[in-house]
Amino acid sequence: MSSTNQQRRDFLKQSSLAASAAFSPYFFSNPQTLADETRSPNDRFRIGVIGSGGMAGGNMNAAKDWLDVVAIADVDEGRRESFSNRFSGGKADTYNDYRKVIERDDVDVIHVATPDHWHTKTLVESMLAGKDVYCEKPMTLTIDEGKLIRRVQKETGRIVQVGTQQRSTFNLFVKAMAIVQEGRLGRINKLEVSIGGAPASPALPVAEVPQGLDWERWLGPAPMVDYRFLQPEATGKKRKPRAHTNAHYEFRWWYEYSGGKLTDWGAHHVDIAMWALRLNGQKDGPVSIGGTAKHPVEFKDGYAVQNDRYNTASEFRFSVKFPGDTEMVIKHSDNGILIEGDKGRIFVNRGKLTGAPVEALDSNPLADDAIQKVYKDLPMENNERKGHWANFLNCVKTRQEPISDVHSHMEMLNVCHLAGISARFGRELTWDAKAEQIIGDEQANAFLGRPYRKGYEIEV
Ligand SMILES: NC(=O)c1ccc[n+]([C@@H]2O[C@H](COP(=O)([O-])OP(=O)(O)OC[C@H]3O[C@@H](n4cnc5c(N)ncnc54)[C@H](O)[C@@H]3O)[C@@H](O)[C@H]2O)c1
């Protein structure tokens, strides 16, 4: 058996796509070009990784068939060294300063997988240095950062894929989009986006910075604060495997470094909801966003009053209104996206795609090219995270815009960021999507951007 056939068989075995004949013809006529072309060492991509934590590990596992990790930057020495051992057999060069990775001529592509407050600076500097980038979601911490990235990406012509891999999950989310695109739900008027709540924490004591962690650089553009850490057993609750902290992984629950669940999972599920709206002909952005949000701490003028514990919204329900009487609800309970039109409704999450229009596919399947069309005729290989990387690397070769492009990511991330601003002020916001401004609320409008700590400004 030829190796291409073997790869195809392996792919079929692994992928639940094999179960769906509806969109098999395209896949089977589309050989795994990356796997074929990157077999020789010279054909493999050389990647520089910025931020070698949990997600970078998952990503390098997904893409390891096609690339070699040659340079790693992390402000935590232990993390960058163990990442190098794990993904390059200790051969990759390791740095505390990410700029050393960006400036290397032998690095073809960059992977940004830092906490969110570092994404914009590292992504913009990578593009300016002529690098193509796979940047983890959420791409930015603020709406203004999206505007900057959009401009720099246009000026430099670099290829940027955002790590919203649900856009390459063909058997669930893309199939759901194909159902929408074929008009089987009719006109969409209601979307319910469930993204789960965020944890609260007890007060976290100031702790000694662990050896090897450059805390000042970890904070980077964010305000200078103490490192905090609480052993899981100190809470009296089993909280495995993670301790409470304001650093690794748990940065998600601090507005200084992230947007909480609203951007952590919002970047995935609001993304799918917005994709559905666009495929359904909704060209405009939202006009208002408001609702209720509960924070683990009190807020005053948009800022948490206490600085010693998690502060992002733990429970929430927002109503996002679009022109034409379309409503998107974003809520903390459950996980998945309900898409409702005047002809039917479907529900999709990472485990299932259900609803009468899905059952109807048995007798009335999707068109052969339905998935391909939703995927904008872009290179398709594999599924989920591996498929998302394949799309990026193929686009680096073809110079096409990948499936999770800067522009559409930013449009949907604006919704998540606006929900965060609305939560912090506890009031409804009116949004001018064309001008990308909040109307009639200067205090909230000031939160479209953020100040950068001295020495960590973004220079373009
Ligand atoms: N696509 C997905 O499904 C998915 C899943 C999980 C996480 N993510 C995203 O990946 C990113 C990282 O999340 P994580 O869970 O891996 O976090 P993490 O804390 O495990 O890893 C982040 C790493 O970045 C390092 N870092 C911080 N500042 C740095 C700097 N200036 N230069 C170099 N390294 C720096 C940290 O020391 C840490 O090792 C986040 O933006 C998150 O939203 C995406």
Total residues found in the chain within this entry: 460
When pLDDT is cut at 50, 70 and 90, the band that residue 10 belongs to is very low
pLDDT digits (tens, 9 = 90+) for 334-350: 999 999 999 999 999 99
Q: Rounded to the nearest 5°, which phi and psi values hold at 136?
A: -65, 155
Which amino acid, one-letter code, is at 460?
Answer: V
Is 15 a residue whose pLDDT tops 80?
no
Q: Which of 60, 75, 119, 249 to mutate to test the pocket of ligand 1 (most atoms within 8 A of CB)?
A: 75
Phi, psi of 428 (to 5 degrees): -75, 145
Sorting pLDDT into bands at 50, 70 and 90, what band is 237? low
SS3 79: helix
CA-CA distance, 165 to 391, in Å (whole number)?
10
- Tokens 């319910």 locate to 192
- pLDDT above 70 covers what percent of the chain? 90
42: pLDDT confidence band, cut at 50, 70 and 90?
confident
Note the pLDDT of residue 241: 66
Q: How far is the CA of 137 from the centre of ligand 1 (A)?
A: 10
SS3 content of the chain, % helix, strand, coil (to 5): 40, 20, 40
Protein residue whose Cα sits closest to atom 40 of ligand 1: 115
Ligand 1 contacts (CB < 6 A) are 50-55, 73-76, 79, 98, 113-116, 118, 136-137, 163, 165, 217-218, 220, 248-249, 264
Whether residue 287 has pLDDT greater than 70: yes
The token pair at 41 is 């060492």
Element (H, E) at 80: helix 77-88
According to the model, what pLDDT value does residue 1 have? Answer: 32
pLDDT of residue 368: 95
In tens, the pLDDT along 380-439 reads: 989 999 999 999 999 999 999 999 999 999 999 999 999 999 999 999 999 999 999 999
Q: What is the DSSP code string of 338-390? A: EEEESS-EEEE-SS-EESHHHHGGGTSPPPTTHHHHHTTT----SSHHHHHHH
The whole-number pLDDT of residue 154 equals: 97
The pLDDT value given to residue 36: 58
Residue of 49, 52, 55, 84 with the most ligand 1 atoms within 8 Å of its CB, for mutation: 55
Of the candidates 22, 28, 30, the one whose C-alpha atom is nearest the C-alpha of residue 361 is 22
Longest dimension (CA), the chain: 67
Please determine, for residue 40, whether its predicted confidence score (pLDDT) is greater than 80: no
Instruction: Give the residue, out of 59, 74, 93, with the most ligand 1 atoms within 8 A of its beta carbon, to mutate for a pocket test.
Output: 74
Are 137 and 162 within 8 A, CB to CB?
yes
Name the residue ranges covered by the structural domains of the chain. 3-166
DSSP code string of 200-249: ---PPPB-PPPTTB-HHHHHTTSPP---BEE-GGGGTS---S--EESSTT
Distance 301 CA to ligand 1 centre (A): 29
Q: If one looks up domain 3-166 in CATH, what number appears?
A: 3.40.50.720
Task: Give the nearest ligand 1 atom to 247 CA.
Answer: 19
CB-side neighbour CA atoms (13 Å) of 101: 35
pLDDT of 61 over the 60 cut? yes
